[in-house]
Structure 1
Amino acid sequence: MKKTAIVTGYSSGIGEAICSTLEMNNYKIIRLTSRLEDSQNIEGEVKELLKKVEIDILINCAGVGVFKPHEEISVSKIKELIDINLTAPILLSNLCLRSLKKTKGHIINISSIEAVRHSKFSALYTATKAGLRNFSLSLFEELRRSDVKVTNINPDLTKTNFFDEFNFEPSDKKEAHLLPSQIANTVLDIINFEGVITEMTVRPQRLEIKKK
């Protein structure tokens, strides 16, 4: 019988790769249609979904970024980052937990290397990703007796369209960036691990970026 996974950020990049990898390994993927900034619609969609199916895995992968002086960021952009990077994963975890407890399931949050370091022009993004990381680690402690696993993954520079709107991107050298497929394979390994991997940081060997 196929296990069921909700994956956000499924349309491109790491999320798309995770969906492809899981589908090749006999998982059924549920792709939510509500915008992650719209908590009311998310709540309604998930509640209707859970009337029909139990969830085995929740993977919060959707994310947006901004890297500029904090005073130059619009209020709407600040709200967008908090809503998508932090509020939506917390809300989805809340909505899915009763189902995940029944299936002894797994929550996997795709955070960022920025969650564990402090970079110039990354205060807002770092705040959202550090919040997601700490939510993950605390939630694991809460859920240990219920046998629900919680994992936080901190990917470093990965070749995706995440960088399309920025003035920098990962170097083209293969040793200086990760690929979405590598993160997806890591997710599969974490799911199949018999214990619990509560946190994993995945990095290329070298740190090199290039200006556009």
Structure 2
Amino acid sequence: MKTAVITGAARGIGLATTDILCAQGWHVVMVDRDAPELALEAASRSNVTAAAFDISDPEQVEAMITDAMASRGQIDALVNNAGVADFGPIEATTFARWRRVMDTNLDGVFLCTQAAIPALKDSRGAVVNIASISGLRASTLRVAYGTSKAAVIHLTQQQAAELGEFGIRVNSVAPGPVRTKLAMAVHTQDIINAYHDAIPLNRYGSEAEIGQVIAFLCSEQASFVTGQNISVDGGFESTGIGLPSLRVKPQ
């Protein structure tokens, strides 16, 4: 049975990807720093191992990989999904807020992948880094978040270029607006309407739709895919130039 390590697995995209991989016959090491929520979700699933670690801490990352190898003996895929969001004006983004985002969104991806390289060499495994459409197109209030995700996309290419000779594939996925509980709680109807207008498919994506692409990149079906960023965004990136109001509406 193949083993995947998924960070930020207690909720959202990480949890959806856990369920998809488990349904495909994988064992998933679910990593999250929210130990109570992680334990709750892991308890209701089979073929999973709960691992409460903070991936922004180098020592905890090393312990996480060591524990995963001790319990499973192999790592066939690493999904660097854990992330934090911090939205606010540039002037109001303190260095502490900036570092908090970078510590998890960028440093965590670097640390986890680096620590997992020996195991991934043995398995000729795959890494999937979760970026964001905010790393491809700038928007207001996302100076730290968007910059961290843009860096993840480039880091993915660096990792793919260097690790390919060992048979390790590294790709990133850039989700667009996703219909999560948190998003629906804070997005006003005006925001929802604006997103629908700007997305060619005229809707938010689901966590499972993102997870299906992640699972594909972990699988042998993507055996010749590396160094790529796949936007899973309903076409949102393609509308970065031009006014949504000028789009031709279906008759």
Q: Would you say same fold, with TM above 0.5?
A: yes
Deviation of the 1:7 alpha carbon: 0.3
What are the within-5 Å matches in structure 2 for residues 179-194 of structure 1? Answer: 179-190=206-217, 191=219, 192-194=221-223
The alignment partner of 1:107 has SS state of: strand
> 1:18 aligns to what?
17
Is the Cα–Cα contact under 8 Å of residues 14 and 184 in structure 1 kept in the other structure? yes
C-alpha distance in 2, partners of 1:63/1:205? Answer: 23
> 2:120 aligns to what?
100
Distance 1:27 1:193, change over 3 A: same
Coordinate RMSD, CA, aligned: 2.3
Structure with more contact order per residue of length (Cα contacts < 8 Å, sep ≥ 6):
1
State the AA in 1 paired with 2:22: E
Q: Does 1:46 align with 2:65?
A: yes
State the AA in 1 paired with 2:21: L
C-alpha distance in 2, partners of 1:139/1:165? Answer: 36
Distance 1:29 1:96, change over 3 A: same
Q: 2:232 aligns with which of 174, 179, 202?
A: 202
Alignment gaps of 5+ in structure 1: none
The alignment partner of 2:9 has SS state of: coil
C-alpha distance in 1, partners of 2:203/2:165? Answer: 40
C-alpha distance in 1, partners of 2:187/2:205? Answer: 19
C-alpha distance in 2, partners of 1:146/1:13? Answer: 31
The alignment partner of 1:102 has SS state of: helix
The alignment partner of 1:87 has SS state of: helix
What are the within-5 Å matches in structure 2 for residues 1-212 of structure 1? Answer: 2-32=1-31, 33-52=52-71, 53-163=73-183, 170-171=192-193, 175-190=202-217, 191=219, 192-197=221-226, 198-205=228-235
State the AA in 2 paired with 1:195: F
Distance 1:137 1:31, change over 3 A: same
The alignment partner of 2:91 has SS state of: helix
Higher helix share: 2
Deviation of the 1:8 alpha carbon: 0.8
TM-score, normalised with respect to structure 2: 0.75
Moved more, 62-71 or 142-151: 62-71
Is the Cα–Cα contact under 8 Å of residues 55 and 104 in structure 2 kept in the other structure? yes
C-alpha distance in 1, partners of 2:187/2:90? Answer: 16
C-alpha distance in 1, partners of 2:110/2:67? Answer: 18
State the AA in 1 paired with 2:57: D
Is the Cα–Cα contact under 8 Å of residues 9 and 82 in structure 2 kept in the other structure? yes
C-alpha distance in 1, partners of 2:18/2:158? Answer: 26
C-alpha distance in 2, partners of 1:130/1:55? Answer: 26
State the AA in 1 paired with 2:20: T
State the AA in 1 paired with 2:111: L
Distance 1:87 1:166, change over 3 A: farther
Deviation of the 1:43 alpha carbon: 1.9
Is the Cα–Cα contact under 8 Å of residues 203 and 234 in structure 2 kept in the other structure? yes
Deviation of the 1:167 alpha carbon: 5.7
- Name the % identity: 22
- Number of aligned residue pairs: 207
